[in-house]
């Protein structure tokens, strides 16, 4: 058997947010015959809930902040001497790029950018030197992966990176999970309409805007309810806002959910209320399931993806008023159980159900990723 290519994938830990999910899906999609896959858990003491195949080797570098893991990460890189290191989360990206001169020679370093840089910098939620980190460190990467052309253009402009070094590679979608969830029993109760939102409970996700919008929507749709799947620092503030808007009986904070598509069955529509985004996995999963979608123009990539798609509504601006109006417009058109096919999701007849035109097949993660990582 030919010698396998050794790859080291870096994430903070298993589970958690979109970056972790993407790397887990990539690890599952790469061929065991072609690649020797290692996953470095930069801020974890153990593998936790295993979401990767048994043949993928996990390396936990210990609890604590990513920046304190420089020495353990260097030791791991020199012990493994991988051909490719792929980092999948912003703070881990900065660490890996900072250490780039000290990695074994001929190591190819690829970083995945998960958010639109200009929006991150404008948010005020990052240190002032973050722009400097992008401009100085990102130039050390052999390749930077973005999820949309709009994200790539924004990164090239903000970080001063040659566009030739940026690859546009959509996130993989767990279509097996989506397929299984299609026929699952509904977890919803009541007449609805039932709104589903997924994401960390952080300001950028705009859940405060969504709660305010829901209060307005219920004036026309009194039985409308909302499920928010996610956890984060803004949880207490959002629950307090929910109480002040008298939405306690209409909103369910489900907490962190490993597989949000468990809520797809019975959901009327998916809502993306973010102030800024990259290309969220939950949105792609909702599209793969054929859910009607209402979204803010959280990024150029999201807007370009959904613009003109049947079954997708884009709010004209990022505000609770615009989101409420857009939700009302959508709910006046959507019929119970409506499922659609989005042009950007490859058709797959075996996903089609009684109320679905089509779904999606699993992203060709091995072949596409192999090309973009320089493995072919």
pTM listed for this prediction: 0.79
What pLDDT sits at residue 370? 44
What pLDDT sits at residue 47? 61
What pLDDT sits at residue 357? 32
Which domains, and CATH codes, for the chain?
Answer: 5-172+366-372 (3.40.50.2000), 175-351 (3.40.50.2000)
What pLDDT sits at residue 354? 29
Question: Quick check: 37 and 54 in contact, CB under 8 A?
Answer: no
What pLDDT sits at residue 372? 43
Distance CA 245, CA 243 (A): 5
Low-confidence ranges of the chain (pLDDT < 70): 1-2, 15-17, 45-50, 63, 346-376
What pLDDT sits at residue 315? 96
Checking 302-310 for CB contacts under 8 A at 24+ apart, the result is: 302/148, 302/272, 302/277, 303/150, 304/148, 304/149, 304/150, 305/148, 305/279, 305/344, 309/342, 309/343, 309/344, 310/340
What pLDDT sits at residue 342? 85
């Amino acid at each position: 058997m030919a010698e396998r290519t050794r790859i080291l994938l870096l994430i903070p830990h298993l589970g958690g947010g979109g970056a972790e999910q993407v790397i887990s899906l990539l690890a599952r999609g790469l061929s065991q015959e072609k690649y020797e896959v290692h996953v470095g858990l930069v801020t974890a003491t153990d593998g936790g809930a295993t979401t990767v195949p048994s043949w993928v080797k996990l390396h936990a570098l210990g609890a604590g902040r990513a920046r304190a893991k420089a020495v353990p990460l260097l030791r791991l890189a020199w012990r493994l001497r991988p051909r490719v290191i792929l980092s999948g989360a912003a703070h881990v990206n900065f660490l890996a790029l900072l250490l780039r001169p000290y990695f074994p020679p001929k190591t190819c370093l690829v970083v995945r950018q998960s958010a639109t840089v200009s929006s991150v910098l404008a948010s005020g939620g990052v240190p002032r030197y973050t722009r400097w980190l992008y401009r100085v460190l990102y130039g050390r990467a052999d390749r930077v992966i973005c999820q949309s052309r709009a994200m790539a253009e924004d990164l090239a402009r903000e970080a001063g990176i040659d566009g030739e070094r940026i690859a546009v590679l959509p996130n993989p979608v767990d279509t097996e999970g989506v397929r299984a969830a299609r026929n699952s029993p509904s977890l919803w109760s009541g007449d609805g309409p039932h709104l589903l939102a997924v994401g960390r409970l952080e300001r950028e996700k705009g859940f405060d805007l969504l709660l305010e919008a829901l209060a307005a929507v219920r004036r026309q749709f009194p039985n409308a309810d909302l499920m928010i799947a996610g956890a984060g620092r803004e949880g207490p503030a959002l629950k307090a806002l929910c109480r002040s808007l008298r939405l306690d009986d209409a909103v369910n904070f489900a907490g962190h959910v490993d597989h949000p598509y468990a809520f797809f069955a019975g959901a009327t529509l998916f809502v993306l209320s973010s102030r800024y985004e990259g290309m969220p996995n939950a949105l792609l999963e909702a599209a793969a399931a054929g859910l009607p979608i209402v979204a803010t123009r959280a990024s150029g990539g999201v807007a370009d993806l959904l613009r003109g798609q049947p079954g997708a509504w884009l709010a004209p601006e990022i505000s609770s008023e615009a989101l409420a109006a857009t939700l009302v417009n959508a709910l006046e058109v959507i019929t119970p159980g409506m499922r659609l096919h989005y042009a950007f999701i490859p058709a797959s007849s075996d996903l089609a159900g009684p109320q679905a035109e089509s779904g999606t097949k699993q992203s060709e993660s091995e072949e596409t990723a192999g090309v973009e990582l320089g493995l072919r």
